[in-house]
Amino acid sequence: MAGPDDAEETVHEGRFLSYRRTAKGWEYVTRSNARACVAILAVTDDRRVVLVEQFRPPVGRRVIELPAGLVGDIPLQEQEPLLVAAKRELKEETGYEAKNWTTLLEGTSSAGMTDELVTIFYATGLTKMTEGGGVHGENIKVHYVHQSDIGKWCRDRQAEGMRIDFKIFAALHLARAVTQSTEARLWY
């Protein structure tokens, strides 16, 4: 968000994004249809990380990501809590529900380009409820990768021409810090 002395103008208002410019000339986008984003590091009991793959038009490729989605983008649910959105997105995209939820971090997605904030959750105690795959033609493919194989597996996908969302590695690092004192030998 701009400072108190930095008036802004809307240059273009799209269906989902607003293109803004500060009085000092900084250009950025803001979402007009949601108030935040959530991403979920979901880990099965046998230490497999649940990742999603989907085509992303801005990069023109399939991208490997954490399950994620918008908060407050459903009519009449604009004030939904972050955790409610995270639970909804995990189930829509992967078909899983989780018993245990921990908030890992809230941070900017790309501070030079957008005011969007992403909250990353850590979900365990997973139970498969549906097939997942997303909604409205998202065509999401779900992957299960043992956490000890994530680095190589992602490099292999990148070699195939896919993009890898770095939030996967940030979430794994954060979860490791949270679990070191409570779950001995989880990370090896």
Residue 17, CA distances (Å) to 37, 147, 158, 171 in order: 14, 35, 29, 26
CA distance 112 to 86: 25
pLDDT band with cut points at 50, 70 and 90 for residue 183: low
- For the chain, the domains span 1-33, 35-179
Domain 35-179 sits in CATH at 3.90.79.10
Q: Of how many residues is the chain composed?
A: 188
3-state helix, strand, coil in the chain (%, to 5): 20, 40, 40
CA distance 26 to 9: 11
pLDDT band with cut points at 50, 70 and 90 for residue 82: very high
- As to burial, measured by CB atoms within 10 angstroms (0-12 exposed, 13-18 middle, 19+ buried), residue 50 is buried
**Res 187 pLDDT > 60:** no
Alpha helices, DSSP H only, in 7-145? 82-94
Query: Is 92 considered catalytic here?
Result: no
User: What pTM was computed for the model?
Assistant: 0.88
Annotated active-site residue in 116, 138, 160, 183: 138
Dump pLDDT digits (tens) for 29-54.
999 888 899 999 999 999 999 999 99
Kindly give, in sequence order, each residue whose CB lies less than 8 Å from that of residue 132, ignoring residues fewer than 6 positions away: 91, 92, 93, 94, 95, 96, 140, 142
pLDDT band with cut points at 50, 70 and 90 for residue 181: low
